[in-house]
């Protein structure tokens, strides 16, 4: 049920904050309850002290050392530039040639399929000279 207690504490703290922002005089009994409940939670949830505390490192010295060692001057990037007009023209020529090759292949396949189909039709007409009667 710890989450319910934390939720109630958060609601009470929020209400106290709203009252302080709006300028209303806070309800003294509500504030006493909030402070008492905060103290109770702090006692229950507080970490137990250890026997030996480690000394605090010198943060400023660590940051200065990190900044000095990490920053390196940037070298200008070398970009190999070629004539863009020539590149675009050669790319367009290659794409057009590829497109034409595909179209020619499709035309050959279409002609071959049509020839094969018409050959089958002519062969069936030669075998059976009288067409079947339609209708009636």
Contact, 26 vs 19, CB < 8 A?
yes
Q: How far apart are CA 92 and CA 47, in angstroms?
A: 71
Residue 111 has pLDDT above 90, yes or no: yes
Q: Please state, for a pLDDT cut of 70, what percent of the chain lies above it.
A: 51
| Residue 23 domain boundaries | 1-45
In a domain, residue 13? The reply is yes
In a domain, residue 12? The reply is yes
In a domain, residue 52? The reply is no
* Mean pLDDT, all residues of the chain: 74
Q: How many domains does the chain have?
A: 2
More confident residue, 81 or 87: 87
Quickly list DSSP for 59-92.
HHHHHHHHHHHH--PPPPPP-----HHHHHHHHH
In a domain, residue 28? The reply is yes
In a domain, residue 122? The reply is yes
In a domain, residue 66? The reply is no
Query: What local confidence, expressed as pLDDT, does residue 101 receive?
Result: 96
In a domain, residue 56? The reply is no
In a domain, residue 39? The reply is yes
pLDDT in tens, 8-51: 888 988 888 888 888 776 555 555 555 555 555 555 555 555 55
């Amino acid at each position: 049920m710890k989450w319910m207690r934390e939720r109630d504490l958060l609601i009470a703290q929020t209400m106290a904050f709203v009252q302080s922002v709006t300028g209303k005089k806070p309800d003294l009994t509500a504030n006493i309850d909030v402070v008492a409940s905060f103290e109770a939670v702090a006692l229950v949830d507080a970490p137990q002290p250890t026997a030996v505390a480690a000394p605090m490192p010198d943060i400023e010295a660590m940051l200065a050392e990190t900044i000095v060692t990490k920053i390196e001057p940037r070298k200008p990037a070398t970009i190999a530039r070629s004539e863009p007009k020539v590149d675009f023209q050669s790319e367009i020529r290659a794409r057009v040639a590829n497109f034409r090759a595909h179209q020619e292949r499709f035309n050959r396949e279409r002609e071959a399929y049509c020839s094969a189909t018409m050959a089958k039709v002519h062969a069936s007409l030669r075998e059976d000279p009288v067409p079947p009667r339609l209708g009636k």
